[in-house]
Amino acid sequence: MINGMAASGCGLVHEAAFYDSDEQLLELVVPFLQEGLDASEPIVVTLDDRRAELVRSAIATSPHLSFLSVQYDRPANVLKSVDRLLTEYLTEGARRIRIVGEVPHPGMGVPWPWWARYEATVNHAFARFPLWALCPYDRRITSEEVLDDVAQTHPYLATPDGHHVINDRYTDPVVFLTQPRSPLVDPLEASPPVVELVNPTASAARRAVADVARATQLSVGDVEDLVIAVSETVTNAICHGHPPAQLRIWPAPNRIVVTVTDQGSGPTDPFAGLLPAASAPVGGLGLWLTHQLCALVTLEHHDDGFTVRLIAGYPHLAA
């Protein structure tokens, strides 16, 4: 039990909570919100519509309590938006901010790899903020793989009986993010790519993506975003990787999968792509940009080099 944590109001408290029923969700969330309201702390809740309504009906309205209808879309976007939000609250004089947010995973129809990285990155990105972030996970729809990552990325755990405990499975984010993980390979990649270019220029890569996209059902906006992302990734491979750089493209009606592989070791920054590189020279922000433009980005360090996988449209969920 760590009662001091609740009273301290300083530093980051990043806490996971597991529940098996709507009643347990309310037992976890409502007292957390009520404590914040009693202390006049700003609170932001981001849950899906059904769960948000459930919570809303169980707590009094307050100008300090906001329900955001915007769902978590892309990790880099969320990290950027939350940083901005926290900075605004502090500027307005808040002593602590509370957030309740349900992070998406395959049980909610969203691929997990970059959300696992997100959960680890939160511990680094928001360490300077007086933030208490509660991340509820519905065990009925959450896989063991996801639960295992959640256990490694949250320093604290909340329980439905009102306890807050130190999580002894917590792993330092740098260690977590540099652990080898099974690559998420799209089933399309089992077939030969429709385009394979060696050492392409960025403009050749852009043309190839735009050409392939014509045979898909992707929106113009999704294609334009992917074109930018591929261009930035190929530029990075040319400027920072080791040749040869290989571009491969697989289209399907509802998505395009692109991989860019070079023979280098890839970025050493464990938070690459999720946070803007603080010391990056002009031009060091391409990976961060791609993470905000694609439906999924994965980074894969392997014996033969480094692969960035960019997906536009609807990513296939891992089995």
Residue 193 beta carbon to other proteins: minimum distance, rounded to whole angstroms: 23
The dihedral over CA atoms of 222, 225, 231, 236, expressed in degrees to the nearest 10, equals -120
By beta-carbon proximity to other proteins, the closer residue of 27 and 225 is 225
- Site membership for other proteins, residue 282 (CB under 8 A): yes
Distance CA 213, CA 226 (A): 10
- According to the binding rule CB under 8 A, does residue 252 interact with other proteins? no
Work out whether 293 is an interface residue with other proteins (CB under 8 A): yes
Of 85, 77, 179, 159, nearest to 118 (Cα)?
77
Q: What's the gap between Cα 258 and its chain centre?
A: 19
In total, the chain counts a number of residues equal to: 319
How far apart are CB 88 and other proteins at their closest, in Å? 14
Q: How far is the CB of 80 from other proteins (least distance, A)?
A: 8
Residue 125 interacting with other proteins (CB under 8 A): no
Are 144 and 107 within 8 A, CB to CB? Answer: no
Helix then strand then coil, % of the chain, to nearest 5: 40, 20, 40
Q: Is 227 in the site for other proteins (CB under 8 A)?
A: yes
3-state secondary structure of 135: strand
Q: Which of 52, 147, 202, 252 binds other proteins (CB under 8 A)?
A: 202
Q: Is 213 in the site for other proteins (CB under 8 A)?
A: no
The tokens for 307 are 């692969």
* Rounded Cα distance, 7 and 253, in Å: 53
Pick the binder of other proteins from 22, 35, 189, 224 (CB under 8 A).
224
Q: For residue 73, state whether it binds other proteins (rule: CB under 8 A).
A: no
* Alpha-carbon Rg for the chain in angstroms: 21
To other proteins, the closest distance from the beta carbon of 48 in angstroms equals: 25
Whether residue 99 contacts residue 133, with contact meaning beta carbons closer than 8 Å, is answered with: yes
Please identify, using beta-carbon distances, which residue of 139 and 206 lies nearer to other proteins: 206
- Whichever of 192 and 281 has its CB closer to other proteins, that residue is 281
Give yes or no for residue 87 binding other proteins (CB under 8 A): no
Q: Judged by CB under 8 A, does residue 249 bind other proteins?
A: no
Nearer of residues 190 and 282 to other proteins, judged by Cβ: 282
Residue 219 binding other proteins, by CB under 8 A? no
Residue 274 near residue 118, CB atoms below 8 Å: yes
Rounded least distance, CB 160 to other proteins, Å: 39
- Does 15 sit near other proteins (CB under 8 A)? no
- CA distances (Å), origin 234, targets 15, 77, 98, 125, 287: 38, 22, 40, 27, 10
Q: How many helices (H) and strands (E) does the chain have?
A: 10, 12
Residues that bind other proteins (CB under 8 A): 202-203, 206, 221, 224-225, 227-228, 231-232, 235, 282-283, 285-286, 289, 292-293
